[in-house]
Amino acid sequence: MTGLTDLGLIAIRDGVAKGEFTAVEVAQAFNAAVAEAQEALNAFIVTTPEAALAAAEKVDATRAAGKELGKLAGVPIGMKDLFATKGVQTSAASKILEGFTPQYESTVSQKLWDAGAGMLGKLNLDQFAMGSSNESSAFGPAISPWRRKGDTAALTAGGSSGGSSAAVAARLCPAATGTDTGGSIRQPAAFTGISGIKPTYGRCSRWGIVAFASSLDQAGPMAHDVADCALMLEAMAGFDPKDATSLDMPVPDWSALLNADLKGKKVGIPREYRIEGLNADVAKAWDDGIAWLKDAGAEVLDISLPHSKYALATYYIIAPAEASSNLARYDGVRYGLRDLPDGANLQEMYAATRAAGFGAEVKRRILIGTYVLSAGFYDAYYTQAQKVRTLISRDFEEAFKQCDVILAPTAPTPAFALGEKSNPLDLYLGDVFSVPASLAGLPAMSVPAGLSSDGLPLGLQIIGRPFDEQGVLNAGLAIEQRAQFSAKPEKWW
Amino acid sequence: MPLALFMGRDFRLGFNGKGCCMSVDTATVARIASLARIKVSEGELEAMVPELNGILNWVEQLGEVNVEGVEPMTAVIPNTLRLRADVVNADPLTGGGIRDAVLANAPAAEHGFFGVPKVIE
């Protein structure tokens, strides 16, 4: 059937429930799209067409038996290759975990399968989710389906969830999981004209997600639109005793409670984000967003987040510090790669294994993290960064006394070309608008706002109070309804 | 570059060797790499020194923030530390008796153990 791959998550779920098409037909259509695009877009590290079909057959059988269908019944999705999937390689886009086959299923992926979703494959990402362009993947970067007007240069699909964004934007899957440590859901969503939400820290269990920076890592959905994100997040979220930082709170019916009427709501515009020389297209999208939210009934006011300018430096101490500790587990003993040179002792095996198994960016971050945690430097770097993090978090607390949500750009520029940013610091600076919400654990989402002058998608970011995913989604919906973003990448793959 | 200025400092200073504060040399990077158990060649070391100094000089800007009386962040969202019920195998997924699953991905499992190079001379 043609046209099935253009449908979003809710449209597929409803179509299957009504019998307009079967789940198997849907899985076949997406399996074909995945196979066709794999060589050009490199969105998947592993494809699992049989898993998608098996899940679909189960849904069709459940429906035929007249039994109740799950929240995502019949929806095939892409799974970022950072989630442990039982029996299917989970590599974190690294050589050190190549061939690693988990013996268990992550909590979030299990919840999605329980809701009736099926898996199309494991999606590409920056190695261990460290990166903003997908270029640190050991399997080559995912390529954006988008191209600049009149140009064929390969563009980044963003990072770290770049396989997820490329696949959803190219309609290889109606939705995908992402994880966000400093913007890894929001920035790729913005670069590819899709929606994505990072919920409050603790909403989604981290159990079975390959750890990068544990105090920041959060899973979330990436999909065509706000309603699809809301429904998928309901299926992903929920208390998990196996994650010590999991929130023991009920999961609201976000999708049923969506409401784009913002009368009585206040939207804060952080003046520190109005940086000199901000990309003109991005600045215009931000102004459009302000007008749309006013049109939806909201009052817009100027707010201050005075420590914003220190957020990136804070992040690039804390995240590498946690990463250096988390990645100590890759030692060539329990799982993954082992490099044992002739005559090497145990210590030499560790060092050789980690040298061979980690990519350049991962090594860079482990070294920075090791340095800032080392004796004599710990207080100057790490403790100082955690204190500044407290101040950044307080800035948001103060701001949310005046406003309900905050509107800002998701990223300072549209997508850039692969290879364009060769200096690590240039890449780090692209996270400037997404990192503060991560440091404060706040829910934040990106929704498409329009196209740049060279025809690339631009995203707007909404940041909310802790636990107020609803407020974030509602403001996102208000923007979505007014932005009327319908542009799609022209198919070249 | 305005974006760099927004960060509070022109990070490029670090690459010119004019950074204000602590900087690492080849010996220090070699020591960090050894602590992190990552083997690096001489060539890699040479390349890493300016890169790490660029990043470290850039993060030095945090030193200018007045943090008097500010507690370091410990939990970004207030949460309580739970204890699980003191029951053996309460959750079979994380319980015991799954030796083969634990060893399934080991590069050198032998006789039901993880195999490693000889550590006792």
Give the DSSP per-residue string, A232-269: HHHHH----TTSTT---SPPP-TTTT-----TT-EEEE
Asked if residue A267 is part of any domain, the answer here is no
Is there a contact between A12 and A55 (Cβ–Cβ < 8 Å)?
Answer: no
Give the pLDDT confidence score for residue A47 in this predicted structure. Answer: 98
Kindly give the parts of chain A with pLDDT less than 70.
1-2
B106 CA: distance to closest CA in chain A (Å) = 4
How far is Cα B46 from Cα A366, in angstroms, rounded to an integer? 17
pTM of the predicted structure, to 2 decimals = 0.95
Residue A387 designated active-site: no
Segments forming the whole domain that contains residue A244:
4-260+473-483
d(CA A345, CA B119): 7
**CA-CA distance, A310 to A333, in Å (whole number)?**
39
Residue B79 has pLDDT above 70, yes or no: yes
Angle at A258 between CA A255 and CA A260, to 5 degrees: 155
The closest of A428, A404, A414, A406 to A459, measured between CA atoms, is A414
Give the CATH number, domain containing residue A202. 3.90.1300.10
Shortest Cα–Cα distance, B117 to chain A (Å): 6
Q: Is residue B115 helix, strand or coil?
A: coil
For residue A365, tell me if it sits in a domain. Answer: no
Radius of gyration, alpha carbons of chain B: 24
DSSP track, A141-168: --B-S---TT--PPBB--SSSHHHHHHH
If one compares A454 and B7, the residue with the highest pLDDT of the two is A454
Q: List Cα–Cα distances, B114 to A91, A106, A430, in angstroms.
A: 21, 24, 42
CB A117 within 8 A of CB A75: yes
Q: Smallest Cα–Cα separation from A330: which of A302, A345, A349? A: A349
Mutate to test the interface with A, among B32, B80, B103 (most CBs of A within 10 A): B32
Tell me, yes or no, if A184 is annotated catalytic.
Answer: yes
d(CA A368, CA A361): 11
Q: Please answer whether residues A196 and A253 qualify as being in contact, where contact means their C-beta atoms are separated by less than 8 angstroms.
A: no
Distances (CA, A) of A70 to A112, A118, A176, A279: 9, 12, 17, 44
Report how many domains make up chain A.
1
Q: How far is it, in rounded angstroms, from Cα A328 to Cα A348?
A: 15
Touching A: B residues 17-76, CB under 8 Å: 22, 24, 28-29, 32-40, 48, 51-52, 54-56, 58-59, 61-63, 65, 67, 70-76
In a domain, A294, yes or no: no
How far does the CA of residue A112 sit from the closest CA of chain B (Å)?
A: 18
pLDDT the model gives residue B21: 53
Instruction: Please report, as a single letter, which amino acid is at residue A243.
Output: D
Mean pLDDT computed over every residue of chain B: 83
Q: Residue A194 corresponds to which amino acid? A: I
| Residues 6+ positions from A459 with CB-CB distance below 8 Å | A186, A187, A189, A190, A191, A193, A285, A409, A410, A411, A446, A447, A448, A449
Q: Helix axis angle, A9-18 relative to A23-41, nearest 10°?
A: 150
Q: Which residues pair with A77 in a beta bridge?
A: A119
State residue B18's pLDDT score. Answer: 37
How many other CB atoms are there within 10 angstroms of residue A493's CB atom?
15
Mean pLDDT of B24-51: 95
pLDDT at B6 over 80: no
Is A80 marked active-site? yes
* Neighbouring residues of A292: CB distance < 8 A, sequence distance ≥ 6: A478, A479, A482, A483
Asked whether the predicted pLDDT for residue B11 surpasses 60, the reply is: no
Q: Is B85 on the interface with A (CB under 8 A)?
A: no
Which residue is closest to A438 within chain B, CA to CA?
B76
CA–chain centroid gap for B103, Å, is: 26
Higher per-residue confidence, B20 vs B53? B53
Question: Hey, are the CB atoms on A313 and B98 less than 8 Å from each other?
Answer: no
The predicted pLDDT at position A24 comes to 98
Q: A276 to chain B: which residues are within 8 Å by CB? A: 2, 5-6
Which of A177, A129, A174 minimizes the C-alpha distance to A326? A129
| Residue A218 located in a structural domain | yes
Is there a contact between A69 and A58 (Cβ–Cβ < 8 Å)? no
| 3-state secondary structure at position A272 | helix
- How many angstroms from the chain centroid is the CA of residue A232? 13
Q: Which of A244, A275, A364 sits opposite B81 (nearest CB)?
A: A244
Quick one: pLDDT at residue B119? 82
Handedness of CA A105, A108, A109, A113 (dihedral sign): positive
Higher pLDDT, B34 or A423: B34
Contact A307 B65 (CB under 8 A): yes
